[in-house]
Chain A
């Protein structure tokens, strides 16, 4: 329950919209209740008057009740429309809030907390779970609170005429709206969680099948994958069938409770009439009122069944959002660096407390403007060095100073201002070349973009595309060759004139001629910057002032 309460508090900044929807929903229910109950009374009252003769007919106030009948009918139409608009508007506003809230929470965790998660799984979590949480308002909050409010008002109305009938109505509404759905949701919790789990697994399977289809086909592994997907699908069908069965039973029980209440109200009404407590016309009024009352609880089975899904989604989302950032944000504003030199002394970094020390009492001095090359086999900790510098991971022991200040005084956002990285994993977004470049410098104009592309040896290619800068690069840059994608990353570095430049295997995947031209152009943008060039190959190291080898977590000077 605490997750649900936390969700309510999370949504509470929009309480104006939320309560307005609630009020309109209650009004819609009460208008219908009024319409039917009044019509029942009206029919019986006029019939009795008709039988009572001409004097009674003349004395009967026909106008007021018939006007009220029409009023309730009109009110019902207007409030129904307004209710739907307002509740949906509120839902969409809540959705935007939730997405932004979650992204804000996730952002400081990246990339450390995300490196182990499957991308497909993550997509599932965020889109589906956030959408699920978002439906909490529309499908749980509004129907439950409306049913309680309207149910109490209708029972209070009944109590004027017959206490037992009012009690029967409350019991009936509770069984119909709370007991039956609670049983349903209890029974539905397990299949509900199963459905989420299997759907996530199936999504991963499909995303993998699509992204690795070539390998699946050539290696003859497609049939096995199809069998796995089919097995997951039948598991999903089994869980959904169980859910359907539970829902059907709940529906039958709810219906029965409503009809039993109708019968009970009729019996109590008849008794009261026999003893002269109410008039003949009030019996049909109570019967029709009891019929209309159950509109209030009709959405509750679905609502309470949905609570199981909400809880599962909330648990996952909150668990992810509550992770402590791997690097605590500095308390004080970052000091302005006195220069752009870096001093690392006896730094140790491991990814988990009992894991291997990737950097082991590591020392390195990078004075401002110096060009330093770092070579080492894959897995030697070159990328870890970047994680250290960019404050993606916390280090233990030793001392790290940047520009004369403790490195811990800077957040990764601060470090991003001082350093540009061309990484072997530079990511291209599924948008235009222009947007991918503007990422590096939002203020860059057309000329600056073309200049950067020119330096990166990519201008001719982009010019040859029909849409030029506005051509899309495809998912993960799939429409570009590996070399072209790397050159977009280089162009980004040109656009962002940071004092530090960190090159992480920048020429991987380039052919010899392109690599040569690339390194020649790279030399131009190195000028005046402090450079860290991380590579496992020797090309381009001649551009460096000093070269170190990474061995067993330490830097060893080799030239």
Chain B
């Protein structure tokens, strides 16, 4: 698994190759400076303790050592800057690509938005240590120990052997232990995501929880989920920490062994102090890169865990895109031919053939689950039909560049979404040069003008997250005004009078039915009051078109429409 992800992450690293290599090169050079320091330090100690030389004649060595220290500080800074620059370029690029892929996938794809946002932010952030720490450290891990061994072996082959044996054993053990830890990190990441989603869910539903007197119960659920998280994570960490224990074991014991073996030889005068002390100074340095690797190895595991999620998003299939621009037209005549769409093996829309004539108002009615919303998604191009096609003025929608199709239409979804910002920002959504008169006109037609004017900041009043500062009916009217502001010749409205009181609803219907000449309107409706005035009514049931005609013609025959109308009439008398 990780074998496939590492190379792919490395490929992502190409976005910032120069900075990455630079940082590695600086790391290698500073490793050689460390060896130089050890040699000078050993010479100084040997001269002082064993040759009884005073400090003054040693001044040039002391100055040289100070110079090396300064040089090393400079290299440290440079390597740090380059590594951080490299990972920044990679993260920024990845986020932009992910956003693009998500947009190409379209809104019909369902995913927990908080989860995806977490992957895009925190997930991508965990890649930073992979590029800025783990990758450079990988090179140091090979280069530094080899350089030290090259110096130690000629001085004392026994110590060289101790280091040579201890060194490679560390990565070996870490790999052995690490693989299992990796699987556990993966699980822990999922828990973390679940916890984030769970929290958002609880907070969004806090009012409902309180209404049922269950808000306090959630305390124990939060505690339990946190506790589960602790138990699974600690299970992983007990093993993951073995890697650091293994490292400590070999590093500390190798140093102890080098010291004791030297002691045994020094005491009999078989060996000189200088080389022995130099080796002892270098022994901890031998393990420093490996020590760093063990820290960054965990960074790698978290990076791999989030990289899986990131690549999953990146690899998601995009919506098929047409390549031909939609021919410009004064109005739109739309024909669905044998349109079918199935999801998870179930036909949601089946063999749907109908015409939405230009300049006419078509209302689609049917019980919930009849496939009305799926039909609107097909018309909008958010879903590709399983078979059949949609013709717009004779042009197959599947061949059309989606942006050119969307530019031609306006849409009010079943639950309209407002974006953070002012009412004006929302009305002007996607308009290149919004002029205020146009927005005001659209607001008036959607019967939103008066309530907007009564807001504290009028058109510049903040709508809150998802329109939380407005009521359902107000959001509905802003969404309708937003659609009107586009002056589109095709309007697709899903439940335009939802959340509205009957007075406002009928005002809004009046506005819809007095749209400019030539506008094609497709309305999905539960309220049959809309249908009465439509030019054409399509009745859907189980994904199929079962009846079509005008209100009068459909009322004249027994069938679904008539029973729906009768039901609603009875309702008024309940």
The CB with the most chain B CB atoms within 10 A, among A50, A230, A281, A376, is that of A50
* Bound: A260/B60 CA distance, A: 16
* Bound: A260/B69 CA distance, A: 8
* Bound: A216/B210 CA distance, A: 34
Per-position contact with A for B79-90: 1 when CB-CB < 8 Å, else 0? 011011100110
Q: Is A440 an interface residue (CB 8 A)?
A: yes
Q: Is A536 an interface residue (CB 8 A)?
A: yes
* Bound: A222/B572 CA distance, A: 43
A161 CB to nearest chain B CB (Å):
13
Q: Is A163 an interface residue (CB 8 A)?
A: no
Residue pairs across A and B with Cβ atoms less than 8 A apart, 25 shown, are A43-B266, A46-B267, A47-B50, A50-B270, A66-B260, A73-B252, A103-B222, A111-B207, A209-B102, A218-B409, A220-B403, A229-B99, A230-B96, A237-B88, A260-B66, A263-B69, A266-B45, A266-B48, A291-B284, A430-B112, A478-B110, A512-B527, A513-B564, A516-B570, A538-B502
Per-position contact with A for B408-431: 1 when CB-CB < 8 Å, else 0? 011101111111100000000110
Q: Is A119 an interface residue (CB 8 A)?
A: yes
Please report which residues of chain B, range 95-112, place their CB below 8 angstroms from some CB of chain A when the two chains form the complex: 95-96, 99-100, 102-103, 106-107, 110-112
* Bound: A91/B195 CA distance, A: 16
Q: Is B28 an interface residue (CB 8 A)?
A: no
CB contacts (< 8 Å) of A513 on chain B: these are 367, 563-564, 567-568
- Asked whether, in the complex, the Cβ of B501 is within 8 Å of the Cβ of A537, the reply is yes
Q: Is A262 an interface residue (CB 8 A)?
A: yes
Give the number of residue pairs across the A-B interface with Cβ within 8 Å. 499
Q: Is B547 an interface residue (CB 8 A)?
A: no
Residue of B nearest to A70 (CB): B256
Q: Is B237 an interface residue (CB 8 A)?
A: yes
- Asked whether, in the complex, the Cβ of A240 is within 8 Å of the Cβ of B368, the reply is no
* Bound: A407/B237 CA distance, A: 53
Per-position contact with B for A227-265: 1 when CB-CB < 8 Å, else 0? 001100110110011011101110111011001101100
Picked from A42, A92, A259, the residue with its CB within 8 Å of the CB of B234 is: A92
A199 CB to nearest chain B CB (Å):
6
Residue of B nearest to A50 (CB): B269
Q: Is B113 an interface residue (CB 8 A)?
A: yes
B538 CB to nearest chain A CB (Å):
14
Residue of B nearest to A128 (CB): B122
- Asked whether, in the complex, the Cβ of B263 is within 8 Å of the Cβ of A421, the reply is no
* Bound: A304/B368 CA distance, A: 58
Q: Would A207 and B420 be within 8 Å (CB), given that A35-B255, A416-B210 are in contact? A: no
A350 CB to nearest chain B CB (Å):
14
Q: Would A218 and B411 be within 8 Å (CB), given that A76-B248, A209-B99, A516-B570 are in contact? A: yes
Q: Would A233 and B95 be within 8 Å (CB), given that A379-B471, A542-B573 are in contact? A: yes
* Bound: A31/B255 CA distance, A: 13
B394 CB to nearest chain A CB (Å):
22
- Asked whether, in the complex, the Cβ of A267 is within 8 Å of the Cβ of B55, the reply is yes
Q: Is B249 an interface residue (CB 8 A)?
A: yes
Q: Would A123 and B284 be within 8 Å (CB), given that A226-B99, A248-B84 are in contact? A: no
- Asked whether, in the complex, the Cβ of A425 is within 8 Å of the Cβ of B207, the reply is yes
CB contacts (< 8 Å) of A42 on chain B: these are 259-260, 263
- Asked whether, in the complex, the Cβ of A270 is within 8 Å of the Cβ of B55, the reply is yes
* Bound: A343/B527 CA distance, A: 36
* Bound: A126/B203 CA distance, A: 10
Q: Is A20 an interface residue (CB 8 A)?
A: no
Q: Is A390 an interface residue (CB 8 A)?
A: yes
Picked from B44, B69, B200, the residue with its CB within 8 Å of the CB of A256 is: B69
Q: Would A77 and B249 be within 8 Å (CB), given that A44-B273, A379-B471 are in contact? A: yes
Picked from A119, A204, A420, the residue with its CB within 8 Å of the CB of B204 is: A119
* Bound: A220/B434 CA distance, A: 13
Interface-located stretch among B138-146, B274-282, B303-311: B274-282
- Asked whether, in the complex, the Cβ of A84 is within 8 Å of the Cβ of B572, the reply is no
- Asked whether, in the complex, the Cβ of B117 is within 8 Å of the Cβ of A482, the reply is no
Q: Is A96 an interface residue (CB 8 A)?
A: yes
Interface-located stretch among A4-12, A360-368, A503-511: A503-511
Q: Is A429 an interface residue (CB 8 A)?
A: yes
- Asked whether, in the complex, the Cβ of A214 is within 8 Å of the Cβ of B121, the reply is no
Q: Would A229 and B95 be within 8 Å (CB), given that A287-B45, A417-B213 are in contact? A: yes
Please report which residues of chain A, range 387-406, place their CB below 8 angstroms from some CB of chain B when the two chains form the complex: 390, 392
Per-position contact with B for A411-448: 1 when CB-CB < 8 Å, else 0? 01100110011011111111100000001101000000
Interface-located stretch among B3-11, B178-186, B239-247: B239-247
Picked from A377, A476, A482, A510, the residue with its CB within 8 Å of the CB of B501 is: A377
- Asked whether, in the complex, the Cβ of A111 is within 8 Å of the Cβ of B206, the reply is yes
* Bound: A50/B265 CA distance, A: 8
Interface-located stretch among B225-233, B326-334, B512-520, B551-559: B225-233
CB contacts (< 8 Å) of B237 on chain A: these are 84-85, 88
Per-position contact with A for B204-226: 1 when CB-CB < 8 Å, else 0? 11111111111111110011001
- Asked whether, in the complex, the Cβ of A204 is within 8 Å of the Cβ of B420, the reply is yes
- Asked whether, in the complex, the Cβ of A536 is within 8 Å of the Cβ of B570, the reply is no
* Bound: A66/B113 CA distance, A: 61
CB contacts (< 8 Å) of A50 on chain B: these are 266-271
* Bound: A61/B199 CA distance, A: 64
Q: Is A141 an interface residue (CB 8 A)?
A: no
Q: Would A429 and B201 be within 8 Å (CB), given that A110-B207, A510-B526 are in contact? A: yes
- Asked whether, in the complex, the Cβ of A512 is within 8 Å of the Cβ of B91, the reply is no
CB contacts (< 8 Å) of B76 on chain A: these are 248, 251-252, 255
Picked from A47, A218, A221, the residue with its CB within 8 Å of the CB of B276 is: A47
- Asked whether, in the complex, the Cβ of A412 is within 8 Å of the Cβ of B112, the reply is no
Q: Is B296 an interface residue (CB 8 A)?
A: no
Picked from B50, B117, B260, B403, the residue with its CB within 8 Å of the CB of A70 is: B260
* Bound: A69/B217 CA distance, A: 56
* Bound: A417/B416 CA distance, A: 34
B114 CB to nearest chain A CB (Å):
6
B534 CB to nearest chain A CB (Å):
15
Residue of A nearest to B80 (CB): A248
